[in-house]
Amino acid sequence: MKISFLKGLFFTVTISICFASCERMMETESSLLSYPEEHELNTSADTVYSVIGIMNKIQTLADRSVLLGELRADLVDVNENTISSLREIANFEISEDNPYNQPKDYYAVINNCNYFLQKADTALRKRNIPVFLREFAAVKAFRAWTYLQLVLNYGKVPFYTEAILSEADAAQNFPEYGIAEICDYFIDDLLPYIDVPFPGYGSIADLDSRLFYIPIRLLLGDLCLWSERYSEAAAYYHDYLNEEGLYTGTYRIEFTEDDLQFEGKILSNSYGGMFSNLSAGADILAVIPMDSSVSSNAYSQLRNYFNSTIHNELEFQLLPSLRLQEISASQVFCRAKQSGSPSYAPRANEENPLLAGDLRLYAYWSKTKVEGEDRQTIMKFTTDHVFTYRKGLIYLRYAEALNRAGYPESAFAILKYGLNNINLVRFVSPAEYEVEGGIDPLLTFNPTLFNNTNTLGIHSRGCGDSEYNEFYVLPTPPDSLESRQDTLDYRIERVEELILTEMALETALEGHRFYDLMRVALRRGQEAYLAEKVALRKGSDNRDDALYNSLLNKNNWYLKMK
């Protein structure tokens, strides 16, 4: 496939000349160079600056990685302030000149990665260790992540792995790859680098530079999840969590024990502030680092789209949809007692509807009226940076993979109890977790790191003591099912629905929802699955029939490649 924008692509191979601070590192005024073909990257300066140059290019993709994943789904809505480029995305009417519909920006990253991988001197060794192996692995991950983003948004994409350095290079006919081909290629491409650590550039602008990379195990998990290689996906997520010692932590929002009347006067909220905590051991695992200066091309506009700020004259443009509010309100908040049956919060709260059901939306969404005008703050968009991975997301993808691999009880345990060795034995049947010689490796955890003091069911982050919630239980099949496989099939589909709901509660607005719905719809071969959910964006009483009918055609899920 020939694409016209590729003809100018060879001019975008870059070297960044900035490194001293995050702001300077993320400046976009760095030199744009067309390298001669014989140039090799064989010094530390070459490789460091080239990796940072690739990060510069990835910044261009940061906002759209969120916007394209949310505005086309069911959890975000527009308002009267919304600019046309965002409204087009939400309406699936994305024009060619929409700034978030620029495939050349993805290929600018890809071409820089291709050049680095082609020209880096991998034979150079010090003390018999490859000098640039860490950077090489990091760039491999950047390229794979970018191709995955590209194919999820465009469906079929021109694929190449050699740098375009001339008009002749750009004039080639490139093969078109879909999601299956992209995943197959990059699973094989990344696997040799799975144990290579990140480059260490220290702290940049008080931010650990190790957050800037895409963890290869997580990326492999995502690629396998899209490829329906579920056991492999579960293994990658499990191994990353276990080897990094990433227990869920106890971030949550809840009515305290002093407020058993659930009046909402006393709340304990460690959840809302979780999204601005970028320190080691926090929930956020990886970010696209952005500039703090509003005049910079590397400044993220997400805070101004979702929040009332001085830069948008306090007029936010995007908000949690009525459908998200319905999903949140439909949950049941449970409080365990030291003795006796658990108590449950009222299912409605007229004074503050966000205090009914799951409390996570209340934890990160603040809305007020000032002189009759709506004002809004979304805690997920209050830092300079755009996060790509965090613990809550990984545990839910681990649950999705486990469930489809045939472990629905274990997947549900991630939601209700928190999965560790203790809870595995307590709440999962031996038929699911036992293998010859002990516990299934997909389910084992380091007992000194994962225990019930630091592990929480993800549902408990917003719904109280879910372990005791009698309304939140593993789906029970009817007695008429004849075999264990029938029971397993029954549970897998229904646990998958619980996981998708939990993804809405836990990762709403973060850029994943449309792709989550797409993945399940493709898995089930049901275009209507995605269409029905997106059509309910404005609430269950306001189904958008025209949008539903449009999305029954899978071709309408994707942007058009220019």
DSSP string, 230-295: HHHHHHHHHHHHHHHT-------EEE-GGGTT--SSSEEESSGGGGG--STTSSEEEEE--BS-TT
Q: Coil, helix or strand for 250? A: coil
Percent of the chain with pLDDT over 70: 88
pLDDT value of position 75: 98
Domains and CATH numbers, the chain: 4-203 (1.25.40.390), 232-250+389-550 (no CATH), 258-386 (no CATH)
**Which residues lie below 8 Å from residue 238, measured CB to CB, with a gap of 6+?**
398, 441, 442, 443
pLDDT value of position 169: 82
Lowest-pLDDT range, 273-277, 401-405, 553-557? 273-277
Cα 468 → chain centroid: 29
pLDDT band at 40 (very low <50, low <70, confident <90, very high): low
Pairing of strands 343-344, 157-158: unpaired
Cα 529 → chain centroid: 21
Give the pLDDT confidence of 376-390 residue by residue, as tens digits. 999 999 999 999 999
In the predicted model, is pLDDT for residue 367 greater than 80? yes
- Say if CB 153 and CB 559 are below 8 A apart: yes
What are the phi and psi torsion angles at 269 (to 5°)? -135, 95
Does residue 114 or residue 17 have the better pLDDT?
114
Q: What's the chain's average pLDDT?
A: 89
Give the pLDDT confidence of 112-126 residue by residue, as tens digits. 999 999 988 776 666
pLDDT band at 446 (very low <50, low <70, confident <90, very high): very high
Please state, in angstroms and rounded to a whole number, the distance separating the CA atoms of residues 75 and 472: 22
Q: Coil, helix or strand for 539? A: coil
What are the phi and psi torsion angles at 396 (to 5°)? -75, -35
Give the pLDDT confidence of 206-248 residue by residue, as tens digits. 888 899 999 999 999 999 999 999 999 999 999 999 999 999 9
- Residue at 65: amino acid letter: S
Q: Interhelix angle for 216-226 vs 133-154, to 10°? A: 30
pLDDT value of position 27: 33
In the predicted model, is pLDDT for residue 32 greater than 80? no
pLDDT value of position 34: 39
pLDDT band at 257 (very low <50, low <70, confident <90, very high): low
Half-sphere exposure of 87 (CA within 13 A, CB side): 7
In the predicted model, is pLDDT for residue 14 greater than 60? no
pLDDT value of position 24: 34
At CA 331, angle to CA 74 and CA 226, rounded to 5?
Answer: 45
Please state, in angstroms and rounded to a whole number, the distance separating the CA atoms of residues 280 and 446: 19
Does residue 477 or residue 185 have the better pLDDT?
185
Indicate the DSSP class of residue 198.
Answer: P
- For residue 328, with 0-12 CB atoms within 10 Å meaning exposed, 13-18 middle and 19 or more buried, which class applies? buried
For residue 415, what are its two tokens? 């939601």
Please state, in angstroms and rounded to a whole number, the distance separating the CA atoms of residues 27 and 522: 40
CB atoms within 10 A of CB 549: 12
- Say if CB 496 and CB 520 are below 8 A apart: yes
Residue with tokens 């519909």: 101
Please state, in angstroms and rounded to a whole number, the distance separating the CA atoms of residues 89 and 92: 5
For residue 461, what are its two tokens? 């982050």
Give the pLDDT confidence of 450-479 residue by residue, as tens digits. 999 999 999 999 999 999 999 999 998 877
Sign, CA torsion 225/227/228/232: negative
Does residue 67 or residue 1 have the better pLDDT?
67
Residue with tokens 């966000």: 354
- Residue at 447: amino acid letter: P
In the predicted model, is pLDDT for residue 357 greater than 70? yes
Pairing of strands 157-158, 434-435: unpaired
Instruction: For 79-105, give one letter per residue: b (16+ CB within 10 A) or e.
Output: eebbeeebebbbebebeeebebbbbbb
Q: Shortest CA distance to 272 belongs to which of 200, 370, 359, 388?
A: 359
The C-alpha torsion from 446 through 447 and 453 to 459, rounded to 10°, is 60
Please state, in angstroms and rounded to a whole number, the distance separating the CA atoms of residues 469 and 416: 9
pLDDT band at 129 (very low <50, low <70, confident <90, very high): low
Indicate the DSSP class of residue 367.
Answer: E
